[in-house]
Amino acid sequence: MHIRFEKYDHADGKHRYCLLSLTPTLLGDWCVERVSGPLNAPGGAQKRAYFAGHAEALAIFEGFRDRQLKRGYAPIPVQLGLL
């Protein structure tokens, strides 16, 4: 599951993004990954958290999603590449 968020702050002129993903690992765990930073500028952060169960990982993923929506980020459709 992948969700991309973008936010444009008109007062500061800053355009930011955040990508959330929930994926299974090869060992059967679940990974929640957050990648965020400014668009078209250097910098950013990438964080990963691993969980043993899908329910726990999904709860954390939904918490991050809700937090970004409250901060004013808008969800953007993600086009995933073909394997």
Which segments of 1-83 are extended strands (E)? 2-9, 14-24, 30-38, 45-51, 74-76
Specify the pTM: 0.80
Above 70 in pLDDT, residue 81? no
pLDDT at 80: 60
The SS3 assignment for 39 reads coil
CA distance 17 to 30: 23
User: pLDDT tens digit string along 13-60?
Assistant: 789 999 999 999 999 999 999 999 998 778 889 999 999 999 999 999
Mean pLDDT over 69-73 rounds to 92
pLDDT at 78: 66
Higher pLDDT, 80 or 37: 37
